[in-house]
Amino acid sequence: MVINFNQKTRKILSIIVALIILVGGGIYTFKPKNSLETSKLEAVKNIDRYTIEAIFDDESKRLMCNQNVEYVNNTDKDLDKVYFHIYPNAFSKKEFAPFEKEEMKKAYPNGFNEGYIDIKNILNNGNKLSYEIKGDKNDLLEIKLGKNIKPNEKISIDMKYNVKLPNSLGRFGYGDNTINVTNWFPIACVNDDRGWSLKSYESLGDPFYSDTSDFYVKLLAPRKYKIGSTGKVTNEKFDSNRGFYEIEAKKVRDFAFILSEKFNIDKDSFKGITINTYNLNEKLSKASTKIAKDSIEIFSDLFGDYPYDTYSVIASDFFIGGMEYPMLVMIDQSLYNEKNQFLLEYVIAHETAHQWWYSVIGNDEINEPWLDEALTEYSTVLYFEKKYGKDVGDKLIKTMEIQTKHHLSENIFKPSTQYKNSTDYSLNVYTKGAVVFNEIRNKVGDEVFFNTLKEYYTKYKYQNVNGAKFVELWNDKGVDIDKIIREYK
Ligand SMILES: [Zn+2]
């Protein structure tokens, strides 16, 4: 995610970068390698499988859904219950709404409007399972399995539910242009070496944590809408007023889709990856496609291949900069500004980097937000360095150092919930985080730095990591990353 505060500070950056690019004309030093193999999805054992049938009712902005989950017990203990996040309930009451107080007006320009999930029943092979709605925001679902499932054993869980979308310009909801269907279905909570991760939909930062799974989604929606989604449409049919879509998304950790009547869709491709941009300002369609393509190209070269066959960048009614989902990112439509394309480029590059750090490699975003955000913010700097030259990257880092010089004693490794506000969070986790990564690079040299990031990506592909595993990888190479980081705490 790119949060609000950064938009302001990045205006300063944008002037610097615009000047450098104008004067230098831009140096596109990056050359595609022809030796990269067509990427293959490595086998991931025992992943959950979601099959969802959803009918979208335009008038009531509701989804009527049937969902089956083949849930796998990936722990080493027997399980008699499982937990799912039911994030739409975080929008059911004003006091739950996952926004800071001063953001509420932007999130709900027409006043608070509720969103929720209404669970109708939960079954296993036709037998009812008992369940309870829990969590600080009624956004957790505890399902009692009525039996024990052993390690590696699967259980089939059927759910019937309705989802009401709020009139909200956050990640989940709808505005005048787009309908943002994100974090909308019951998704299994992660059960890692600390046990179940049962955190609610927090206001600050991205509060998500999930396991790589396979998704098969059937969607019926009014024909007038164009749809951008995670995965690939494998079949579509239309009658006079409805569109029916079958979508497949394998080895991803979430499934999102955005609808709009107004999308101007532009396409390009890079090594077999179809790159789609869904634009609301047609004049910037080509520019956004170019940025998306350059981002995929640059990060594939730096970290390892983008492993999916499509990537979509979607202009949305979304007021918080940008937001990442697997194979798809939402970008605040107000950033598509012909006079200042720097912010648009910055945000698209940032969200695209999350395809490596969040989507392919996952982490607990509440407990260790630095792990994906600091690395993603530094990857954004690398994008500008590779595309426009080292001096542009250096200027960005210099500006970040100045911005964070009063925050040097603060800890960037706290959970997102322990930061005072989005400014405090953004300056520490993103900005100072990027400076720290630059410091690591300076200390170890480019070869060790980029090889270690490549190794990290290959080793933990489709898995969830934590800070300890990340640090261990560097320690194994004789790099005392702790010491480098401590100096910046
Ligand atoms: Zn981010």
Alpha carbons 363 and 379: distance in angstroms, whole number: 17
Instruction: Write out residues in the chain with pLDDT < 70, as ranges.
Output: 3-45, 408-409, 488-489
Determine, yes or no, domain membership for 186: yes
Last residue of a domain, one of 260, 275, 303: 260
pLDDT of residue 129: 98
Residue 359, SS3 per DSSP: coil
Query: For 310-364, what is each residue's pLDDT tens digit?
Result: 999 999 999 999 999 999 999 999 999 999 899 999 999 999 999 999 999 999 9
For 406-460, list the strands marked E by DSSP: none
Burial of 128 (0-12, 13-18, 19+ CB in 10 A): exposed
Determine, yes or no, domain membership for 329: yes
Catalytic residue (choose from 103, 345, 351, 385): 351
CATH code of the domain in which 107 resides:
2.60.40.1730
Count of Cβ atoms closer than 10 Å to residue 148 Cβ: 12
Last residue of a domain, one of 260, 283, 305: 260
User: How far is ligand 1, taken at its centre, from the CA of residue 366, in Å?
Assistant: 13
User: How far is ligand 1, taken at its centre, from the CA of residue 482, in Å?
Assistant: 23
Burial of 196 (0-12, 13-18, 19+ CB in 10 A): middle
Contact 211, 47 (CB under 8 A): yes
Same domain, 255 and 275: no
User: Active site includes 142?
Assistant: no
Sign of CA pseudo-dihedral 261, 346, 204, 369? positive
Contact 62, 165 (CB under 8 A): yes
For 137-239, list the strands marked E by DSSP: 140-149, 154-164, 173-174, 179-181, 187-188, 191-192, 195-196, 213-222, 226-229, 232-238
pLDDT of residue 437: 95
User: How far is ligand 1, taken at its centre, from the CA of residue 326, in Å?
Assistant: 13
User: How far is ligand 1, taken at its centre, from the CA of residue 151, in Å?
Assistant: 34
Same domain, 98 and 129: yes
Determine, yes or no, domain membership for 40: no
Determine, yes or no, domain membership for 42: no
Determine, yes or no, domain membership for 323: yes
Task: State yes or no: 373 annotated in a binding site.
Answer: yes
Same domain, 77 and 197: yes
Same domain, 15 and 66: no
Alpha carbons 115 and 113: distance in angstroms, whole number: 7
Same domain, 183 and 310: no
Same domain, 234 and 290: no
User: How far is ligand 1, taken at its centre, from the CA of residue 373, in Å?
Assistant: 5
Domain count, the chain: 2
**Angle at CA of residue 383, ends 467 and 429, nearest 5°:** 35
Determine, yes or no, domain membership for 39: no
Task: State yes or no: 407 annotated in a binding site.
Answer: no
pLDDT of residue 24: 44
Query: b or e along 321-360 (b: 16 or more beta carbons within 10 Å of the residue's beta carbon)?
Result: bbbbbbbbbbbbbbbbeeeebbbbbbbbbbbbbbbbbbbb
pLDDT of residue 479: 87
pLDDT of residue 160: 98
Same domain, 52 and 21: no
Catalytic residue (choose from 71, 116, 336, 430): 430
Question: The domain containing residue 463 runs over which residues?
Answer: 7-31+266-488
Order of strands, edge to edge, in the sheet holding 226-229? 173-174, 179-181, 257-260, 226-229
Which region, left, alpha or beta, applies to residue 2 given φ > 0 means left and ψ of -120 to 50 means alpha?
beta
Same domain, 121 and 165: yes
CATH code of the domain in which 378 resides:
1.10.390.10
pLDDT of residue 34: 38
Same domain, 159 and 75: yes
Dihedral angle of Cα 434, 440, 441, 445, to the nearest 10 degrees: 180
Same domain, 364 and 432: yes
Last residue of a domain, one of 236, 260, 284: 260
**In angstroms, how far apart are the furthest CA atoms of the chain?**
70
Same domain, 52 and 22: no
Same domain, 212 and 325: no
Determine, yes or no, domain membership for 43: no
pLDDT of residue 5: 45
Which residues keep their CB under 5 angstroms from ion ligand 1? 1, 373, 376
User: Active site includes 282?
Assistant: no
User: How far is ligand 1, taken at its centre, from the CA of residue 351, in Å?
Assistant: 6
* Orientation of helix 4-24 relative to helix 369-388, angle to 10°: 20
Nearest residue to 260 via CA among 305, 314, 298 = 314
Determine, yes or no, domain membership for 206: yes
